[in-house]
Amino acid sequence: MHRNRQTKILATLGPGTSTAARIASLFDAGVDVFRFNFSHGSHADHRRRHRVVRALEEARGHPIGILADLQGPKLRIGEFQHDGIELKRGRKLRLDLDEAKGDEKRVQLPHPEIFKVLEKGSHLLLDDGRVRLKVLDCDGKSAETEVLQGSKLSNHKGVNVPDVVLPLAALSDKDRRDLEFAISLGVDWLALSFVQRPEDVAEARKLAGGQALVMAKIEKPSAVEHFQEILDLSDGVMIARGDLGVETPVERVPVLQKSLVRQARAAGKTVVVATQMLESMISSPFPTRAEVSDVATAVYDGADAVMLSAETAVGEFPVEAVTTMNDVIQATENDVHYRTMMEADRAVPEATAADAITAAARQVAETVNAAAIVTYTTSGSTSFRAARERPAKPILCLTPRLETSRRLALAWGVRPVLTEDARDFADMVDRACRIAKREKLAESGQRLVITAGVPFGTPGATNILRIAWVEG
């Protein structure tokens, strides 16, 4: 199976896309990795979807990645006597721990941890930022606030606190149960919500135990502030622009997106741009021009993958959304300016043998006009480093480990193929040429640039580069 693009597509499964036929149609339309959203659905629902994806993987003979997206702590207000109130600018509203139903003057905020850190002048955002409150006074158990931006406010709306780091772990009790279940299923990536500190990622990595790669979702100002430390501990990051656009000024989001993608690329970490990419296609078969430009911008930035959320989980046109995203990526990558942008943001190789070989492979492939770069890898690190180079040639990853091939389904430009490890140099070249032809990445008479490690099968030992001719 061959995709005519380098940027990958991550799509969310949900009630509208749970059947074998619908999941197969999404994969055929271009999905590389499926996202299981643990904010919705039961473990039984996710288990059924997992079985369907793995059966599809076997039927298509191509690795398919699965990402489990953990919910994270959910902060919400309580209930109102009449299901909601109308808040106007300048009105006062008290938030407290009282379980009694609220009215125009007060409402429950059942999160004592928030009151512990609120200060005079702090801001609270309710209902995805539609309501903005400023704290006038706080005694540790309640807060008097002034409405800066009003709207109708109904039961159980979400709360964001952008100004402070909350004394909450990124993993709730539910998240811990979900993480354990996801690992038992055999998912390939874990996306961690509500990341505020590097310690949040460290805890998730410890619980994952190396059985899945960990992706930190960047959706809070504190995560942006500590981004480099979070990046160091993560295998990848997701720029979750929904909550990020609520807790930071919306005009800052495009600037942050470019900066975070650039830093992730420099570190060789997988980076996903997510949220509202083709939002209108939830109910329309066609995207807006602005949405198309948004997807293209993420591709120009060099993101490893772009994500569809509600568009495929509950939307009326999930296959059309994937097809549109696939077409936009292809058109963008075919732009004559695309390669210029990739090369302009290429990071300097780190001072390691593996990075030196990987950077040289990209340069040699371009110099001799090779058809593809072939990487032999066990852990996947060689192929992730090859993707960091954003080469003009496709990357064919050959690995003996199924879990590695699935994880690499999310990496920019990587075509993962499951195969036995090479026995010797002759077998290395022969296997690379045969598979490159089979995968339609090379034809007879073309050249391949091959990287591997000696002794064969040793993780992280990339130390040789070979140019090979593909014979008839």
Which residues participate in catalysis according to the annotation?
Answer: 35, 76, 217, 275
Q: Which two tokens stand for residue 160?
A: 């964001």
Distance CA(158)–CA(293), nearest Å, equals 30
Contact 179, 190 (CB under 8 A): yes
Q: At which residue do the structure tokens 């100004």 appear?
A: 163
Strand 123-126, strand 159-160: pairing: antiparallel
Q: What CA–CA distances, in Å, run from 349 to 90, 265, 272, 361, 379?
A: 55, 11, 22, 12, 20
Strand 152-154, strand 84-86: pairing: antiparallel
- CB atoms under 10 Å from CB of 279, counted, come to 21
Distance CA(163)–CA(148), nearest Å, equals 15
- Give the torsion through C-alpha atoms of 15, 68, 355, 231, to 10 deg: 110
Q: Which two tokens stand for residue 247?
A: 């807790």
Share in percent of the chain as helix, strand, coil (round to 5): 40, 25, 40
Contact 125, 131 (CB under 8 A): yes
